[in-house]
Amino acid sequence: MYPRSEPRIAKETPVRVFGLDSAGRPFNQVATAQDVSSHGARLAGMKSLPKAGEIVGLREGGEKARYRVVWVGRPGTPQEKQIGLFCVEQGKYIWDIAPPEVEFTNAPEARLQSTLLRMPSASGGNRRRELRVDANGGAQVRAIGTRWPLWTVLYDLSMSGCYLETPTPFEAGTRLELNLHAAGLQFQARGEVTARHPLVGMAVQFTDLTPLNKQRLEQAMAILAEPAVKA
């Protein structure tokens, strides 16, 4: 059996998972969540298997999040066609049941989970030092020096960057011009791709904001953060 360092809750529910398999081919399939924890999940019935360490997207009902593949079940074992996942989005929990409490120990498997908790998230290393809010907006992006724009979904937003959902993200290091729509406001920025996850999306760090666009970004952030503040 693979190690577990935090309590799990049994939950048999279909989920949609998408990413790249071990051969680099895209997949988008339905699997079954066998059990979930505060930070991870175990999926069964995987027809296509990603490599350990890959980032995949997971959707359960109307909720979605990005997960890192921690382990992949070996053929011929009870864990065949199963994968273990760990959420790379701080504080994200997509399941419709209350999460179990986490109690870390000094066991090796617990240290593994503790290390994963400290790893930078897919949206960049500053994610845990600043306010980041769900955006549910849109963005038109264009690589600087090219003509044709790419339409993406604005997944979350901060004062220093954003995460854009798209099946065809740009390569890391690509410089972009962005036209973003969030909270009923529109603003422009220049940025650079800092992380790329095929079939899932890309993290973008803002590199240039005019005073007017920075003001609009601040307004959008205030509107988007308001429900969380009231809660």
DSSP 80-128: TT-EEEEE-STT----SSPPPPP---SSHHHHHHHHHHHSPBTTBTTGG
Stronger pLDDT, 113 or 27, i.e. the higher one:
27
Choose one of 63, 90, 118: the last residue of a domain: 118
Q: Which of 155, 134, 121, 163 is nearest to 225 (CA)?
A: 134
- Output the pLDDT for position 190: 97
**36-40 average pLDDT score:** 85
**Does residue 205 carry a pLDDT above 60?**
yes
The position carrying tokens 């099946």 is 167
Judge contact between 29 and 47, C-beta under 8 A: yes
**Range name among 17-31, 53-67, 107-121, 199-213 with the lowest pLDDT average:** 107-121
Report the distance separating Cα 47 and Cα 61, nearest Å: 20
Q: Which of 136, 135, 169 is nearest to 151 (CA)?
A: 169
**96-113 average pLDDT score:** 52
Report the distance separating Cα 29 and Cα 79, nearest Å: 18
**CATH code of the domain covering residue 168:** 2.40.10.220
Choose one of 118, 135, 169: the last residue of a domain: 118
Q: Which of 105, 81, 86, 100 is nearest to 41 (CA)?
A: 86
Alpha-carbon torsion, ordered 84, 90, 91, 93, to 10 deg: -30
- Percent of the chain past pLDDT 70, that is, above it, reads 81
Identify the domain containing residue 177 by its residue range.
127-230
Note whether residue 90 is domain-resident.
Answer: yes
Q: Is the pTM of this model over 0.85?
A: no
- Output the pLDDT for position 2: 47
Note whether residue 4 is domain-resident.
Answer: no
**171-180 average pLDDT score:** 95
Report the distance separating Cα 104 and Cα 35, nearest Å: 18
Residues facing 141 on adjacent strands:
150, 178
- pLDDT category, 12, cuts 50, 70, 90? confident
Note whether residue 14 is domain-resident.
Answer: yes
The overall average pLDDT reported for the chain is: 80
- Output the pLDDT for position 224: 83
Report the distance separating Cα 103 and Cα 95, nearest Å: 20
Tally of structural domains, the chain:
2
**Separation in Å, CA 112 to CA 1, 19, 143, 166:** 15, 23, 38, 30
